[in-house]
Structure 1
Amino acid sequence: MINKNWYKQAWKFLQRENLDRVLLVITILVIFSSITYSIVENKTIIDSVWWTIVTVTTVGYGDISPVTLPGRLVAIVNMIVGIGVLAILSASLASFLVSKKIKEDLGMSAYKFENHIIVCEWNYRAEVIIKEFRQDSDFKEAPIILIADIDRKPIEDENLYFIKGKVSDETLIRANINKAKTAIILGDDKLEHNARDATTILSTLIVESLASSVYTIVELMNAAYIDTCKKAHADEIIVSSHISSMLISQAAINHGITYVISDLLSFQDGANKLYKVPVPRSKIGMPFIEAFVHIKQTYQSTVVALQKGLQGEVMCNPSNQYKLNNQDYLIIVATESSYQEIQKSHLR
């Protein structure tokens, strides 16, 4: 949607970058030179304007050229003044673009994205999260805004945008938190475990106070803080130490099970991954087992869980006789191509 006050913003930009005076000089030069050239060379005003612009920009097509002494004097003025004015204009634009790039890399900019992802804190887990996003076709070019108290943008990613600082009202507003889709709040590895979780919960409170509609995913180290984090209205809580401990114990009890988990969670091409899809329209009101068989036979994919609503209760391995309704979602193990086919079939 076009901003109704775009012309005011454009004028402020020209004034801020000192381009208004340059454009004024160019305009006066073109008007004066065109009128003078038209008189002394007996040319139409259109031809004179064309000649003036071609001369000032040093293009010099040669289709129109002065033959009188006054006309050549006008041409000399155009050449000398034009080179200087264009040099100033080019330098001003280059300075603006370089300054903009530096501000972005140093985390000094503000953004107006919508349905974007915000990642709070930078650590090796944040880097893995962003790389995994880029492996998924739906998030390959999704705008991601990183808020972290580091010196500059940490990795080269044209769709990753950086805001320097702690999670606060100011940094979240610059990240346009009200229009974000998801906020991922990670722990600060520079702090000890208890202080890290306390800071994470505080960040969650700040996010929720500004934009309660944003889906917040929070990383904790200590499971004892889960209830506190829920009171901060976090939508999904992941206790990283708890999950890694469970995986290690499962690996000891059932050798090789971690390979299965890693394969399901990875976004590498060709791998089977976990996806969430709506219940097929033809299976609404039918027992769960019918959807299970249909998905397996038709798409060579396996249903492993069911979610009641888009963000509701998740049932792992639901009963065969559970009656499906139109708000339920199936969590499946599938390749990306199978997932896309299921999505297309639901739209038909």
Structure 2
Amino acid sequence: MKTITAHYLRLPAILRLIIIVLTVLFLFGTMMHYIEPGNYRTVFDGIYWAVVTAATVGYGDLVPKTLIGKVMTILLIFSGTTFITYFFSQMATYTVKRQNALMKGDMDYQKSGHIVVVGWNERTKTLIEKINEDTPDQHVVLIDRTINKNPFQNSNVHYIHGKSYEDQTLEKANVQFAKIVFITANNQVSEEQSDMDSILTLIAVIGMSPVAKTIVEILTSAQVENAKRAGATEIIHTSTIVSSALFKRMD
């Protein structure tokens, strides 16, 4: 009994409330079936009456005829209506809180086979838009700590707010079941600091998901080898790419 109670208390509040409402309706319906078996021929008839009565619909197709049955109806109207009203108010509150958490990046991502993109900038914006355009069914998880809400609210992009090198943030992004992880450079700090953060994130990602393909953007030549040692699948050396492009412009 203690084990069942412990498991019940661990359930989300909204799920506990659903269990209470269903239990009340089932008990009242079952009791009504045994109180008036000729009127409520089956337990289902009793439960149907309980639902209709508690919801204050009152079709009138099943009406108690005995004194005890009428007392049961009064008790159900007082208790059941209170539970159902509270249930719907809690459902509305839960929905609003869930939507806010989803928008602000506080909700865990629970699916697998997704693409994780670390860092919000123009490059990641273009990358995510390209993914959505080419593979609209592909889910993307964006990790960043500089923005306050999901910049892609009407798409398959799930936002996680937090530091990308912390296990808690990576667990919320479900990195261990990700297909690809893109780690982009942070242009808001120095190049050295950006590379240190990227490599630290890379180490944390590989430690949590050694099978995921990791693509990391490195700004300084000195950290390219460290990124290789850390186990990056692919390294994008931005400075080299930009320098090559500028040099080609001279031809």
Q: What TM-score do the two structures reach when normalised by structure 1? A: 0.61
Partner residue, 1:234: 232
Percent identity of equivalent pairs: 27
- 2-side partners of 1:123 and 1:14: how far apart? 36
Which SS does the other structure have where 1:155 is aligned?
Answer: coil
1:86 Cα shift? 0.9
Q: Does 1:160 align with 2:157?
A: yes
Is the 1:187–1:220 Cα contact (8 Å) retained in structure 2? yes
Which SS does the other structure have where 1:163 is aligned?
Answer: strand
Partner residue, 2:88: 90
Is the 2:104–2:150 Cα contact (8 Å) retained in structure 1? yes
Partner residue, 1:27: 26
- 2-side partners of 1:247 and 1:14: how far apart? 55
Partner residue, 2:176: 178
The answer for unaligned runs of 5 or more in structure 2 is 1-5
Greater C-alpha Rg: 1
Q: Does 1:212 align with 2:210?
A: yes
1:87 Cα shift? 0.6
Query: For 1:125, which of 123, 126, 131 is the aligned residue?
Result: 123
Shift in alpha-carbon separation, 1:241–1:89, aligned structure 2, 3 A: same
- Aligned residue identity for 2:24: V
Which SS does the other structure have where 2:117 is aligned?
Answer: strand
- Aligned residue identity for 2:160: I
- 2-side partners of 1:49 and 1:212: how far apart? 52
- 2-side partners of 1:9 and 1:106: how far apart? 30
Q: What TM-score do the two structures reach when normalised by structure 2? A: 0.81
- 1-side partners of 2:40 and 2:207: how far apart? 68
Which SS does the other structure have where 2:123 is aligned?
Answer: helix
Shift in alpha-carbon separation, 1:134–1:15, aligned structure 2, 3 A: closer
- Provide, for residues 135-163 of structure 1, a one-character-per-residue CA deviation record: whole Å limited to 9, x for no partner: 11xx3121211221133323314421122
Which SS does the other structure have where 1:142 is aligned?
Answer: coil
- 2-side partners of 1:10 and 1:140: how far apart? 39
Partner residue, 2:138: 142
More helix by share: 2
- Provide, for residues 207-266 of structure 1, a one-character-per-residue CA deviation record: whole Å limited to 9, x for no partner: 22222221110112223422221111111111223323333443453xxxxxxxxxxxxx
- 1-side partners of 2:7 and 2:76: how far apart? 31
- 1-side partners of 2:195 and 2:62: how far apart? 74
- Aligned residue identity for 2:30: I
- 1-side partners of 2:126 and 2:138: how far apart? 16
- 2-side partners of 1:170 and 1:71: how far apart? 55
Shift in alpha-carbon separation, 1:48–1:228, aligned structure 2, 3 A: closer
- 2-side partners of 1:155 and 1:49: how far apart? 44
- 1-side partners of 2:50 and 2:203: how far apart? 62
- 2-side partners of 1:22 and 1:214: how far apart? 44
Is the 1:17–1:92 Cα contact (8 Å) retained in structure 2? no
- Provide, for residues 180-200 of structure 1, a one-character-per-residue CA deviation record: whole Å limited to 9, x for no partner: 111100111220112111211
Task: Give 1:255-274 correspondences, 5 Å limit.
Answer: none
- Aligned residue identity for 2:139: P
Shift in alpha-carbon separation, 1:224–1:15, aligned structure 2, 3 A: closer
Partner residue, 1:44: 41
Shift in alpha-carbon separation, 1:9–1:103, aligned structure 2, 3 A: farther
When structure 1 is superposed on structure 2, of 222-231 and 120-129 the one drifting more is 222-231
Partner residue, 2:3: none
Is the 1:222–1:241 Cα contact (8 Å) retained in structure 2? yes
User: What is the RMSD of the two structures over their aligned residues, measured on CA atoms?
Assistant: 2.9
Task: Give 1:1-348 correspondences, 5 Å limit.
Answer: 12-13=10-11, 18-19=16-17, 20-36=19-35, 38=36, 42-46=39-43, 47-66=45-64, 74-136=72-134, 139-150=135-146, 151-167=148-164, 168-253=166-251
